[in-house]
Amino acid sequence: MRLVVALLLMLAGSAAWAIDCDRSDIDVDMRRLMGGAENLCQTYGGQVMLVVNVASQCGFTPQYEALEQTYRRFRERGFVVLGFPSGDFGDQEYDDEAQIAKFCKVNFGVSFPMFGKSAVKGDKANPLFRGLIARTGQAPGWNFNKYLIGRDGRVIRHFPSDVAPDSAELRTAIDAALVGAAAREVTGR
């Protein structure tokens, strides 16, 4: 299946978008919010990703607006935001996924992909976050923690919650990743 995905991407005209899922940090199956499972590498491989643990009732929740604006600003260049609702910090996320989806759409017009509510820290962390934490040494300290992933599916950098999605620091890092100039800041590569 991975070979088919790589061949399809190459036939679409961009061999640079074909990645080795086995060597990526995103070769995991995750369930979409109110939907089925998908393999992140097969679906988003070749794009620059901003993986964010989100919550609907947090002081950082207004970051949804900047996340959506950042997504819209860069998506035509191969960028996507992936939202992962979690109640790990102060139980600030709704239990009902329909309520999460409605809250995000009505209040912030969220159109970027959202995934099912899951843990993002500790022993119960979902497989994506377990891998990102292991690779960076940085676990989410609160809601709206961010990991920037390169086109090769490997994590570039961790950003804590207080780094706004529309900050110059994060915009510069996204832009660099989109043009392939991002320096790999994670050790062990």
In whole angstroms, give the CA distance from residue 115 to residue 157. 21
Rg (the chain; Cα; Å): 16
| Range 69-91 burial, b when 16+ CB lie within 10 A, else e | ebbebbeeebbbbbbbbbbbbee
In whole angstroms, give the CA distance from residue 83 to residue 115. 6
In whole angstroms, give the CA distance from residue 84 to residue 91. 14
Q: In the structure encoding, which two tokens stand for residue 54, read together?
A: 């989100």
First to last CA, the chain: 26
Nearest Cα residue to 79 out of 46, 34, 105: 46
58 is catalytic: yes
Q: Which residues are catalytic?
A: 58
